[in-house]
């Protein structure tokens, strides 16, 4: 567990981003280890974070159908 933690905390293995209001981020939950840092609210603000989950096969299937329709001029 210590080795795993050390690998996760290595700067070269991390990507950090500060999201702004209205930003959206999407990632494959099976391929990305993700977390959030602590935060301090300023002047009565609030933290609002929504999550949604999609089945990968369903998304890929829908993409293929829509791409086929687009190429056929149906979209």
Confirm whether 14 is domain-assigned: yes
Domain range for 11? 1-43
Q: What is the pLDDT of residues 40-61, one digit of tens each?
A: 777 777 777 788 888 889 999 9
pTM for the full model?
0.49
Helices (H), the chain: 2-9, 56-71
Higher pLDDT, 45 or 12: 12
Confirm whether 36 is domain-assigned: yes
The two structure tokens encoding residue 16: 């950090």
The two structure tokens encoding residue 18: 């500060």
Please tell me whether residue 54 adopts helix, strand or coil conformation: coil
Rounded CA gap, 64 and 59, in Å? 9
Confirm whether 23 is domain-assigned: yes
- Name the burial class of residue 32, with classes exposed (0-12), middle (13-18) and buried (19+) by CB atoms within 10 angstroms of its CB: exposed
């Amino acid at each position: 567990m210590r080795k795993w933690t050390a690998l996760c905390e290595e700067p070269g293995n991390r990507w950090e981003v500060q999201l702004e209001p209205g930003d959206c981020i999407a990632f494959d939950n099976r391929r990305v280890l993700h977390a959030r840092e602590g935060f301090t609210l300023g002047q009565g603000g609030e933290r609002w974070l929504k999550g949604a989950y999609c089945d990968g096969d369903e998304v890929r299937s829908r993409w293929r159908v829509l791409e086929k329709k687009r190429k056929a001029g149906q979209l």
